[in-house]
Structure 1
Amino acid sequence: MNSSKQAIELEEKYGAHNYHPLPVVLSRGEGVFLWDVEGEKYYDFLSAYSAVNQGHCHPRIKEALIEQAGTLTLTSRAFYNNILGPFERYITSYFGFDMVLPMNTGAEGVETALKIARKWGYEKKGIVENEAVIIVAENNFHGRTTTVISFSNDENARKNFGPYTPGFAKIPYDDIPALENALKDQHVVAFLVEPIQGEAGVYTPAEDYIRKVSEACKKANVLFIADEIQTGIARTGSLLAVCGNCSCEGHCEQQPSYTKPDMLILGKAISGGFYPVSAVLADEDVMSVIRPGQHGSTFGGNPLGVKVAMTALEVVRDERLALNARKLGVIFRQRMQVLVDQYSILKLVRGKGLLNAVVVNDTEESSTAWDMCVALKDNGLLAKPTHGNIIRFAPPLVMTEEQLHECCDIIEKVVKDFSK
């Protein structure tokens, strides 16, 4: 490809227009950096929506991919393979669950969890078939499948894709009284929720929200399903967001801040950006409702994907990425708060670990946040708006403190320029 202009023209002509990318054409990545086809270098402050927490093209994960790709890539689940069992043992031990159901994409993980929850409701809780209700939070983002958009309140994702799948009830996020009221419905089988709502603008709930969610669900005999596709794998400064303020690099059920969900959905950084891998974890009482032929995927649990995932998880632990995310996240929010206090174009900064956002002091319909992201690109930093007036900042977790300060200097320069 000779130029960015040519690459963009090809995508516009031959590709469905289902995304609105920033005008940059990337051709190479390493660690926290990306390069475009003209050779310009950028700091990555999106991490492929937190899929490359371990940094771009991590050498250990790359070697695992190459080795397995030359040995065995796919058998389907018609046969056993020699990598899946060790992966299942590894990941269940890593996160403290009895069993795992491996899939490919985050949306598949969500769909898997929904099916398991409904089946559990009918077979274990005794709800009449086809009457199960799953509670979700307003402004959620769990993917874009037909089922998931059925309980989204993003009209852009919903409009003209109906009829919608029934069986869902929406309540406000970070509202325990609303949850407790919804749980009075005897048909409820589960509450699906993001510990931090990433796509909604890195909306961070009250410190005790997840603990109270778990307590309310247990009291009502309802499954608490944590969607940690974006918040998991050290992104928020802990191995999982449900770990609270625990800085352990692995399973830590004994820690007082840890709140164990009944089901955990993982994706994105579970494979370090090398291969689509997702997983649903649960204890045997829940997972045992799935029997042969009732759910699966040709690629789910394939040797290549699970080998990559095991190595990606080893990197997170060995390089203590949760601890680094925790430390750098504090520094980043302090630097951003100074800008919020000084410049009226910014309203607030929020987040946890290295999943953060700044809210631009303009309407969702305005182009200010987009224009600021274009200016950031022109200054060597890649970020993307969400919900119109919010800019999400989520660099790879291998970033150093020196690099973070350099990035904050770039952001400060752009904020100053837009404040003139």
Structure 2
Amino acid sequence: MKMAQRKNVTKKRGSFRKSVVISLVLISVISLALTGMVSQQFMTYIGDDTTSLAASALREQAIRNMELTAEKNALVINQKLARAEGMIRAMANECEQIFSDESTVQPREAYYDYFFENPGGPQPDDNHYEEGYGLNVSWTYSSWYHPSANSTNYNDTADANAEKLGRASNLDFIFQGIHQQMPEFRWLYLAFTNDLFINYPGSILDLESYSATSQPWYIDILSGSPDITYVEPYFDEFEGVLLISIGRVVRYDNGSIIGVISGDISVADINEKILDVQVLESGYASLIEKSGGGIIAHPDLSPEDYAEFWVENEILMPLTEMEINNDSTEALSDAHLAQIRSVQAGGVGNLTYIRNGESHLLVYASVERGNYIVVIIVPEDEVLSAIPPLEERIDVANQQALAFILAITVGGIIVAGAVAIVISNQITRPLQYLMDLATRNVEA
């Protein structure tokens, strides 16, 4: 009987200790497991959020970099136009001084344009063929033209305009100075109100009955008085180049109009600056006019393309004509172009459009002078090309962090189990002693 009771006591003793150990181990394991799961979920959330924020930040930074590039190019063009404006103002001031009542200038030789290419009349000594112009020119003298003059009666026209021609001949000096300082000016000229036309460098105009006062550039500059006026860029069919005209009305001392003095800048130099812009792999820059969105500079437009479109439409090709899908459907819409053209002076902006199923980013910046806009276009995939490697690096970091958390959790469970056993033994032994003592007292 007593032997059976001892076995029962021993069994209860083991059961009690086992229960305590299991309880402590379970508490430790569950606590650490829950902590590990929470940490894992938190790391996953942080990783996803970091990826999203990084992608968004990368896109915004790329757009800002494109905007800065556009602004930089707009500034370069603006500086060039500001310099050109200064030349035109100097030329206009000199013209008004020459035609003032106090002027004491002496007349120089004035050469009729026809004889720059044909015999039978006076020519400047330096009249020579200039390959860049495709005709004979003089860098020392200007030429004059009037619709009423021809090779037989030009002296009569010269006599009728002797005062104007004598004074205007002194403009040759400032014409030469401007050409030397800013050779981008292809032509410098003065158009009187009676259609007398002074042109530098001296050369043949080679036009019949050309009335300068009825030309759009003359009318635009006249209506823009007294400010410097930019004429919308146009394609010169005779020269085969795209030109920007800048001019100002000039007046006599009494306020009456002498005429319009102006200069034509070839966009070749501006074109080079625009086309030199490299944006990622296939991005490019373009320059358009604000008034109609016509293209002034574009990497995919040749002089022949400008000429063909100009002859057919008498306007510059709109940017929407270039940004089309392979099936010739619209990619960049008129609404997009209207948004670009609405940019304020000195402002920047951006938009996204789809071309051939691919998203493109377009940023634009206003040129302060001349009402021009710099445009930069790049496929969005190129902008976001750094995101997949970034996501991969973040994912690897997350996996490493999760593996570390798992290792810590498992190690913690093992350590916690061992500690639980040790602690349970320390707790249960005194209790077991008391229980055994109480049992013996009861049995006694």
Compare relative contact order (CA 8 Å, sep 6+) and give the higher one, 1 or 2.
1
- The higher radius of gyration belongs to 2
Shorter-chain TM range is: under 0.3
TM-score (normalizing by structure 1): 0.25
By percentage of residues, which structure has more helix?
A: 2
